[in-house]
Amino acid sequence: MAALTFPVGLVALTFSAGIVLAQDSVANFYSGPGKQMKIVVRTTAGGDYDSLSRVIARHLGRHIPGTPSIVVLNMPGGGGIVAANYLGEVAPRDGTVLSIVGQGLVVDQALGLSPQFKTDLRNFNWISNVVFSNPVLCVWHTSDTKTLSDARRRPTTLGTTGAGSVSVQFPTFYNNVLGTKFKLVAGYPGGQEINLAMERGEVEGRGSNTYASYMSSTPDYLPKKLLIPLIQIGMEKESGLGDTPLLRELPVAPEHKELVEFMSKGATMGRPLATSPAVPMERVSALRSAFDAMVKDPEFLADVEKQRLEVRPMSGADLETLVREIIGAPDHVKERVKAFIEPGPNEKL
């Protein structure tokens, strides 16, 4: 049988027509009567999850075909679990709901830490990692803990937002791997409340927050030495944190090295933006393209600078790969990390 052949020009024309039809379909969907998008925020108002969500809400819509309006909905609780469960299990699966997912939830799912965490992050449609910046554990300047050595010597109280949060996971891991004596005070609804607790002397420090978040939401804390950074976690050092030690560069027992690498990779999750599962791929592609266009938009960049925010995006495709790598890590690594990340009774207050 003779092979079928098609003129190159006809193939190109057909492909181009397909793109146009997909764009028209997306535009028709997002421009429908009363069509409004939401960005769900895992924290209370204030802090970089909220600030980044609001600046995205102000600018992303005009880069999406159909130019929908976007509103912000704060949904704090469970270290981000409440918002993630909503996005994965309750929100419409049509590309109208977005959320910056809690940084620690990929590790939470990988290790099966929180029974109340019902959704599967591998099913989310990832748009972009808005910014990946090293989480840093800091203490308030009035604390008697000034160095990592001090933290090994004396109990130091840290404010946290609860299960599923890196503010619990990281200090617990440090206790087990580095021999620190951090004590966790849970129940704060968001980072702003923990900051106030430090200022009032309720706690000595904050279990985790990214360097970029401190510099945007509380830009005086680090430059004026109101906060003392003790340790940072990520794949490489933040230039703005000076000599603050990086976890993966510290001496640890040989059997702990692969656990440190797992946690360091998890820390690069940053502020990952997603939409719900089962969204038609042409809408996911449109949202990714809209985000890529937005981060080059002079109006967006001016707003980001005005808000003292940092945007260092990672593509949605690369973010999806990272999520799957962390969740799909070898079982023997995940089992040992899980044992090191769950706070024991002596670590909680």
Range of the domain at 141: 32-349
What pLDDT sits at residue 78? 85
| Residue 8 resides in a domain | no
What are the pLDDT digits (tens) for 107-150?
889 999 889 999 999 999 999 999 888 999 999 999 999 999 99
| Residue 23 resides in a domain | no
What are the pLDDT digits (tens) for 206-259?
999 999 889 888 999 999 999 999 999 998 999 899 999 999 999 999 999 999
How many structural domains is the chain composed of? 1
| Residue 209 resides in a domain | yes
| Residue 252 resides in a domain | yes
| Residue 94 resides in a domain | yes
Question: What pTM, to 2 d.p., does this model score?
Answer: 0.76
Are the C-beta atoms of residues 208 and 183 closer than 8 Å to each other?
Answer: no
| Residue 321 resides in a domain | yes
Distance CA 216, CA 191 (A): 13
Distance CA 317, CA 329 (A): 18
CATH number at residue 60: 3.40.190.150
Going from the C-alpha of 278 to that of each of 92, 95, 118, the distances in angstroms are 10, 9, 16
Going from the C-alpha of 114 to that of each of 110, 165, 271, the distances in angstroms are 10, 10, 20
| Residue 239 resides in a domain | yes
| Residue 5 resides in a domain | no
